[in-house]
A and B are shown apart, each in its own frame.
Chain A
Amino acid sequence: MNNSILVVVLASAVTYGTPLAFAALGELLTERSGVLNLGVEGMMLVGAVMGFWAVQHVPGSGPVALCVAVAVAALAGGTMALIHSFLVITLRANQIVSGLALTIFAGAGGLSSYLGGVLNLADAPARHQFNAFLPAGLRHAPIVGPILFDQTALVYVSWVFVALAMLYLTRTRLGLNVRAVGESPEAADAMGINVTAYRYAHTIAGGALAGIGGAAFSLAITPQWVDGLTEGAGWIAIALVIFAFWRPGLCLLGAYFFGAFAGLPFTLQSRGVTIVPELFQALPYVMTILALVLVSSAGARRHLGAPSALGIPHVREER
């Protein structure tokens, strides 16, 4: 039963969806504070390369090294996001251009490739990697075993993060402030909320989560350093935020949905089903466009929640 095509596809959806979930959750926090960061792909790759470097060099047992590696990946991603924050929040640069610059600077053919080369990371297997760790009885349970329990710790961490983000945004004072900053920075400013600090904090947190998402590739899925190993996952994460209407719970579901499409062609082909792989790979993008069209009709926009001040710098003197 566990070998049936549906179970295999769902299990791979969770595996491939996890890096997307981290990165999209990060971008969601960033966008909720009114900052658009198109540099997710670059931040993921730098997180992936630095996380992999850490796991190769940190002494200690597997779990310790892996925890340190994830922390290093988050730090690396956050540092990249700091560049973007400084440019767009303090210097009021164009957010789109700055985000793309970040991807060019940090992404494949940029800093991540540079670091991978300088630190000599290519062509070596990871010293430690994230494995499924739950007892075999659970992992081999019918249907739910492979999908939910035969997974790495990162999957469960992503669930915790999504739950925390939901509580944070909707049930805490800080979360309310974030939403105010993203919807109407002038009103937030007038209430005495430090718009600049909130935007910095959430952009950097978003970068850290993207870094962890990258590490999910280099420490769990691949697990080694290959130049450009995220293969556009960062862009899908940006699409996912819209697809999920800026809500963390939907973000996780969407990540698994997109993850399923990423893994589906391989699964089907290995079973001798002839399909056009490009058709499946294009579906997430087409569906994102459809979701976006749905969100953009005026009435839906109010209910579904694109932050109104997304992409607009807040300049107190000019309001």
Chain B
Amino acid sequence: MSFPLRIERRLRQPRWLSVAVPVVSVVVAFGAMTLLLLATGHSPGHTFGRLFHSAFVGRSSLDATFVAATPLAFTGLCAAVAFRMNLFNIGGEGQLYAGAITGAGTALLLHGAPGPVAIFAMIVAGAAGGAAFALVPGLLRAFLSTNEIIVSLMLNYVAGLVLTYLIFDSRSYWRDTSTPDARVFPQGKTLPNASSWPTAHIGLIVPLGFLVAVVIAVLVHVLYTRTRFGFEVRVIGDSPRAARYAGMRTRRKIIAVMALSGAIAGVGGASQDGDFRHVLDPRGLQQSGYGYSGIVIAALARYNPFAVCVVAFLLGGLQNAGYTLQGADFPSGLVGVMQGLILFCALGGELLVRYRITVDRRSSRRAPAAAEVAP
């Protein structure tokens, strides 16, 4: 009845493992993907080649990859910030919608304001919207210890319905009702030109949103590694009991971290308005599932804010390629399968970082050893 493999916790995690394991995970995921493609009669080399080409080769591919990566960087940071404290905010999706609503509303209100003012106001409004929405699960968790996973998940749907309501089933401030055509085919008001976020031309076209996400990543890194707040968050994440004995105010940290997490997703929503869509776009936002991908990204990046930006870029490339290649001759659903496989392998690989797997020699050799002793 003895299983020959033993899994035991590593006392020290070797540094090379934290690089080797993700790399091996991706390789294994690609291996599994190759098998699936072969089994369904697709040529793996050709398919991967096209995928890589339309994600990362050439200027236009890279520009589109930045566009796809921007919201993912925000939702990835949103998840990473909260997950680091074992606070499972999976409401990044809804908080992004909330930020998109407040961001677009602010841009419309500030009609005629100069660009920098409008853009700054949009960022602040997006952050406020996302934070306010994240405070619902945050306060419930802090004061009533209600499970934040389910509450934030449910609120994703509520936010999606609010978004649909504002454009499709009401005559709200966000909806364009100026022409007879727009009254029949509901759509949002186009945001004023001044509120379009600029792009950085550094060889490639990088949206302002992506740069904002990188700045937020730096700030989060400083907050979590260089301040007392960050230290306490990490202690609470690793051992809530130890934190309580040390007199840390867990409740305040929960509220603050949820608000921060929601604010980041909210800025992502404002970036959707200002960088790309220039209109409050319920269908487009809801079809994308940025929030859920963000959790994948945070997990792959092992909650490190800089790694989140890099992984967001890589997975953004994958999504961009899947979108570009959509068509009869390219297998649909491939991108989701690949994302899932990479994450499965990374989750499995995590075990190798945290634990050591050894072959238990004692149990398998017990019988012969006993025989040797006998004579």
Q: Report the Cα distance A265→B141, complex, angstroms.
A: 32
Distance to closest chain B CB from A236 (angstroms):
8
**Within 8 Å of chain B (Cβ to Cβ): is A142?**
no
Distance to closest chain A CB from B290 (angstroms):
12
Main secondary structure on A side of the interface with B: helix
Complex contact A111–B164 (CB within 8 A):
no
Complex contact A285–B157 (CB within 8 A):
yes
Complex contact B150–A242 (CB within 8 A):
yes
Complex contact B90–A278 (CB within 8 A):
no
Complex contact A101–B296 (CB within 8 A):
yes
- Residue-wise, chain B 297-321 has the 8 Å CB interface mask toward A (1 for contact) of 0010000000000000000000000
Return the chain B residue nearest A277 by Cβ.
Answer: B169
Q: Report the Cα distance A91→B353, complex, angstroms.
A: 12
Complex contact B333–A289 (CB within 8 A):
no
Q: Identify the A interface with B (CB < 8 A).
A: 38, 83, 87, 91-94, 96-98, 100-118, 227, 232, 235, 238-239, 242, 276-279, 281-282, 285-286, 288-289, 292-293, 296-298, 317-318
**Within 8 Å of chain A (Cβ to Cβ): is B295?**
yes
A114 proximity list for chain B (CB < 8 A): 36, 40, 331-334, 336-337
B351 proximity list for chain A (CB < 8 A): 91-93
Complex contact A97–B154 (CB within 8 A):
no
Complex contact A104–B154 (CB within 8 A):
no
Q: Report the Cα distance A242→B144, complex, angstroms.
A: 16
A293 proximity list for chain B (CB < 8 A): 140, 144, 146
Complex contact B299–A97 (CB within 8 A):
yes
Q: Report the Cα distance A115→B336, complex, angstroms.
A: 12
Could you say which of B9, B340, B347 contacts A110, with CB atoms under 8 Å apart?
B340
B98 proximity list for chain A (CB < 8 A): none
Return the chain A residue nearest B336 by Cβ.
Answer: A110
Distance to closest chain A CB from B82 (angstroms):
11
**Within 8 Å of chain A (Cβ to Cβ): is B8?**
yes
Complex contact B333–A285 (CB within 8 A):
no
Most buried by A among B9, B151, B170, B336: B336
Complex contact A83–B344 (CB within 8 A):
yes
Distance to closest chain A CB from B121 (angstroms):
28
**Within 8 Å of chain A (Cβ to Cβ): is B276?**
no
**Within 8 Å of chain A (Cβ to Cβ): is B200?**
no
Most buried by B among A96, A281, A285, A318: A285
Complex contact B154–A289 (CB within 8 A):
yes
**Within 8 Å of chain A (Cβ to Cβ): is B293?**
yes
Q: Known contacts A111-B337, A282-B157, A289-B151: does B347 contact A94 (CB below 8 Å)?
A: yes
Return the chain A residue nearest B339 by Cβ.
Answer: A104
Distance to closest chain A CB from B232 (angstroms):
22
Could you say which of A98, A109, A116, A297 contacts B335, with CB atoms under 8 Å apart?
A109
- Residue-wise, chain B 274-295 has the 8 Å CB interface mask toward A (1 for contact) of 0000000000000001001101
Complex contact A91–B153 (CB within 8 A):
no
B341 proximity list for chain A (CB < 8 A): 105
Complex contact A278–B347 (CB within 8 A):
no
B88 proximity list for chain A (CB < 8 A): 96
Q: Report the Cα distance A133→B258, complex, angstroms.
A: 52
Sample of 20 further A-B pairs with CB below 8 A, known A289-B140, A318-B9: A38-B153, A91-B351, A93-B348, A96-B149, A97-B296, A97-B299, A97-B343, A101-B296, A101-B340, A105-B343, A110-B339, A114-B40, A115-B333, A235-B157, A238-B153, A282-B161, A285-B154, A289-B151, A292-B150, A296-B146
Ordered nearest first, which 6 A-B pairs have the shortest CB separation?
Answer: A105-B340, A110-B336, A113-B333, A114-B333, A93-B347, A101-B343
A100 proximity list for chain B (CB < 8 A): 90, 292, 295-296
Q: Report the Cα distance A242→B165, complex, angstroms.
A: 27
Return the chain B residue nearest A39 by Cβ.
Answer: B340
Q: Known contacts A96-B90, A101-B296: does B331 contact A117 (CB below 8 Å)?
A: yes
Q: Please, could you name 11 A-B residue pairs with CB atoms under 8 Å apart, sorted by A?
A: A38-B149, A110-B336, A111-B336, A114-B331, A118-B41, A227-B332, A276-B170, A281-B161, A289-B155, A292-B150, A317-B9
Distance to closest chain B CB from A211 (angstroms):
17
Q: Known contacts A94-B299, A117-B331, A276-B165: does B153 contact A235 (CB below 8 Å)?
A: yes
A289 proximity list for chain B (CB < 8 A): 140, 150-151, 154-155
Q: Known contacts A96-B88, A114-B331, A238-B153: does B337 contact A105 (CB below 8 Å)?
A: yes
Q: Report the Cα distance A114→B169, complex, angstroms.
A: 34
Distance to closest chain A CB from B275 (angstroms):
23
Q: Report the Cα distance A83→B295, complex, angstroms.
A: 19
Return the chain A residue nearest B319 by Cβ.
Answer: A109
Most buried by B among A92, A118, A227: A118
Distance to closest chain A CB from B282 (angstroms):
10
A38 proximity list for chain B (CB < 8 A): 149, 153
Q: Report the Cα distance A276→B164, complex, angstroms.
A: 11
Distance to closest chain B CB from A283 (angstroms):
10
Q: Report the Cα distance A104→B93, complex, angstroms.
A: 14
